[in-house]
Structure 1
Amino acid sequence: MYKDTNIRSLVKGFSWRLVATTTTIIIVYIFFGRLDLAIAAGALEWVAKITLYWAHERAWFKIRWGRKKIEPFNLWLTGLPLSGKTTIADAVYQELQKLDIPLERIDSKDIRELIPNIGFTRQERNAHMHRIGHLIKTLQNNSVSTVASFVSPYRESRKAIREMVKNNVVVYVKADLQTCQERDYKGVYEKALRGELENFSGINDVYEEPQHAEIIIESDTVSVEEAVKIIVKFIEKNYVK
């Protein structure tokens, strides 16, 4: 979360006093017709009230009453390869940034570039999900929310994520296999069909559909813009009030 520094409080006090003191000088001059008296009154008020404002601001900073902590959440977008997870997650992340909350974007491609040779067997993928869960948990301990997009094809790994992190919101980006293949600009489905890629979800490995997803986006009929509105509305209603 963000914290106001002493210098920020001082600058806020300065800007406010500039407006308020100018008003005081004008009022004194109108009533007494003496510019010297008006300037003297303004100067005294400037020194006294900017000091009092700073003290008042710092005192309220230490008082927790009336504050509401924004609990960190984790948006977990799952679905078949090329179902639209990354595109939607990127757009949601951009929109949530407007809420001015601590937020990080985590994508499977970026993580696998950092940790090469992870592997794609069920055991290796489940172990990898535990690493991601630990990363998200660490970020949440520092009040940082996350938008994560992973195929995460196995129910046990998604269950592990839900148990490890707080306020986990599963978004199932649902698209049929044919739609995903039509979007195959990378040629990965063709490679999997030729047997060049092993453990490829939807072709030679399973994708187990989420049974308890908070949000389901049918990306073959729902536009990215509509998906973003649905997801952001859910977050605003449940976590950023």
Structure 2
Amino acid sequence: MANTGFTIWFTGLSGAGKSTLSEAVQQRLNAYGRNVEILDGDVVRTHLSKGLGFSREDRDTNIKRIAFVCSLLTRNGVACISAAIAPYREARDWARNEIGNFVEVYVKCPIEVCRERDVKGLYKLVDEGKIKNFTGVDDPYEEPENPELVVETNKETIDESVNRIFAKLVELGYLDSEFLPQDAQASSSRA
């Protein structure tokens, strides 16, 4: 089981917490000796998808590129994490089919909270009219219909969300129960 590759596909609005959760999950997986790669939407756009715009076609192309890399890593036993908005269901479904060992995690957070966080200052630029076609504001975000997990970052701490993600990975058979916090291991062995 330790060599089973899988992809955790975080999707959600800008500022929802995808990158923060990715880093926290990566740290815990690394602590258990797992090889982990993060494909963060911003980093991918800088290196792998430079030159793509934000039309639906360009966004879908970006997601397909991320999915292709995740697929290669996954089939080679790597725990892969994608942290991209991925606003359209059809592209996410394509990624799921391409990758296979796919765990969709909807990082759900109300847009008002994302605006308050505005870590990158993007919502401010939208409000100033400097960014158009921004997901969740003037471009659609299609919520996942059947994700493996929904985490609500406005209601849960990072640790609570990460613990739920690891519990789901164990439940799906991608990780052994040793990846769960001690108190969760004890309660699952009693069940």
Q: Report the TM range for the smaller structure's normalisation.
A: 0.7 to 0.9
Report the Cα offset of residue 167 of structure 1: 1.4
**TM-score, normalising length from structure 2?**
0.86
Report the Cα offset of residue 100 of structure 1: 1.6
Q: Deviations over 1:103-122 (max 9, x none)?
A: 21111111111132211111
Q: Percentage identity across aligned positions?
A: 33
Distance (Å, rounded) in 2 between the aligned partners of 1:101 and 1:69: 8
- Are 1:164 and 2:90 counterparts? no
1:70–1:240 CA contact under 8 A, matched in 2: no
1:75–1:170 CA contact under 8 A, matched in 2: yes
2:45–2:62 CA contact under 8 A, matched in 1: no
- Are 1:85 and 2:10 counterparts? no
2:2–2:175 CA contact under 8 A, matched in 1: no
Which letter maps to 1:80? Answer: L
Q: Relative to structure 1, is the Cα distance of residues 196 and 213 closer, same or farther in structure 2, using a 3 angstrom cutoff?
A: same
Q: Deviations over 1:142-165 (max 9, x none)?
A: 221201101001111101100100
The equivalent of 2:165 in structure 1 is: 231
The equivalent of 2:120 in structure 1 is: 186
Distance (Å, rounded) in 2 between the aligned partners of 1:186 and 1:108: 13
Q: Which runs of 5+ in 2 are unaligned?
A: 177-191
Distance (Å, rounded) in 2 between the aligned partners of 1:186 and 1:101: 30
The equivalent of 2:183 in structure 1 is: none
2:88–2:142 CA contact under 8 A, matched in 1: yes
Report the Cα offset of residue 186 of structure 1: 2.7
Instruction: Note the aligned Cα RMSD (angstroms).
Output: 1.4
| 1:240 aligned residue (164, 167, 175) | 175
- Bigger proportion of residues as helix: 1
Q: Deviations over 1:36-55 (max 9, x none)?
A: xxxxxxxxxxxxxxxxxxxx
| Greater relative contact order structure (CA < 8 Å, 6+ sep) | 2
Deviates more, 1:216-225 or 1:92-101: 92-101
2:6–2:101 CA contact under 8 A, matched in 1: yes
Aligned length: 174
Matches within 5 A, 1:101-120: 101-114=34-47, 115-120=49-54
Structure with larger Rg: 1
Which letter maps to 2:60? Answer: N
- Are 1:98 and 2:98 counterparts? no
Distance (Å, rounded) in 2 between the aligned partners of 1:98 and 1:235: 16
The equivalent of 2:152 in structure 1 is: 218
Distance (Å, rounded) in 1 between the aligned partners of 2:68 and 2:148: 22
The equivalent of 1:155 in structure 2 is: 89
**TM-score, normalising length from structure 1?**
0.69
Distance (Å, rounded) in 2 between the aligned partners of 1:174 and 1:122: 22
Deviates more, 1:135-144 or 1:157-166: 135-144
